[in-house]
A and B are shown apart, each in its own frame.
Chain A
Amino acid sequence: MLPIQPFGVSGESRMSAEPQRIEVTLETLLESVALAEEIGVRIAEAAGFDEDDRYKIGMAVREGVINAFQYGNEQSREKKIRLVFELTPDKMVIHVLDQGLGFSLEDVADPLAEENLMKASGRGIFLMKAFMDEFDVRAAQPSGAEVIMAKNYRNAESRTRESHRR
């Protein structure tokens, strides 16, 4: 008898070089922020992350989409926010793409600098960096910014073990 594989998380794909990929297109709406966070948390749960990491991943997705909503797409509803999740054998990779003008990390002010400490905004990028293991920003095609971040599985075996439990 063939072993029953969890839905969408087959042993074959988990071990293959091709990551599992989930892509969502969101409207530039305030409601998209909470929706994106929830999607991120659920995918993280399915991938076997513990509660603390799920919170951090959810927060990073939320901040990435806030950034796209407010600063990238400047709240223009006709522009879209693309959210891509990739589950590789050793990490969860998240891409947040907007259709704005793009930005460089070098131009982002340090919110921990004394002159910025009491500013009401400017902490989103910092939180994404703090909560994820990898973080970068590059130019999206044809325009806009692409935030790329990744969370490693704490234990390389954890995802396999969690998947087999389901």
Chain B
Amino acid sequence: MSFKATPRESGGVTVLDLSGRITLGEGSALLRDTIRQQLAQGRKKIILNLGDVNYIDSSGIGELVSGFTTVKNQGGEMKLLQLTKKVRDLLQITKLYTVFDIHDDERSAISAFGPN
């Protein structure tokens, strides 16, 4: 399944609905470009909805880390939503689970940004 990233607005936050595989090449590159596009448009509160992503390789993990850092360096915040078991397990073994702000439901992810 090819990777897709679809942005939408929800409660003043940009939610990127991701689906497919985030792997070396197309998936990682598209995720990077999509995050950069949001930042370029001044959207600095970003949620990555990973509910339909069931495969990430080392390159995809790197892209999540890189996206998190890029958004933070521009004064924004990036949170992760609805991890599948495989993605959750990968973030746990790589010790990144506690680095990211991870939520199971969208409302709690949005409210975690707090007021402006």
Contact = CB atoms under 8 A, between A and B. Distances in A.
A63 B99 contact: no
Interface string B59-96: 10111011011000000000000000010001001111
Contacts of B96: 117
Interface in A108-137: 111-112, 117-121, 123-124, 126-127, 130
Contacts of A121: 58-59, 62
Chief secondary structure at chain A's binding surface: helix
A63 B56 CA distance: 11
Given A63-B58, A118-B65, A30 B24 contact: yes
A107 B21 CA distance: 30
A66 B27 CA distance: 15
Chief secondary structure at chain B's binding surface: helix
Interface residues of A, number: 20
A127 B57 CA distance: 9
Contacts of B94: 111-112, 123, 126-127
Nearest to A31: B25
Interface string A40-81: 000000000000000100010011001000000000000000
A102 B27 CA distance: 28
Contact of A117 (B57, B66, B93, B95): B95
Q: Which 5 A-B pairs have the closest CB atoms?
A: A120-B62, A123-B58, A120-B66, A124-B58, A30-B25
21 contacts: A30-B24, A30-B25, A33-B23, A33-B24, A34-B23, A63-B57, A63-B58, A66-B57, A112-B95, A117-B95, A117-B99, A118-B68, A118-B99, A120-B63, A120-B66, A121-B58, A121-B62, A123-B61, A123-B94, A127-B90, A127-B94
Given A112-B94, A120-B63, A127-B57, 4 more contacts: A66-B58, A118-B68, A120-B62, A120-B65
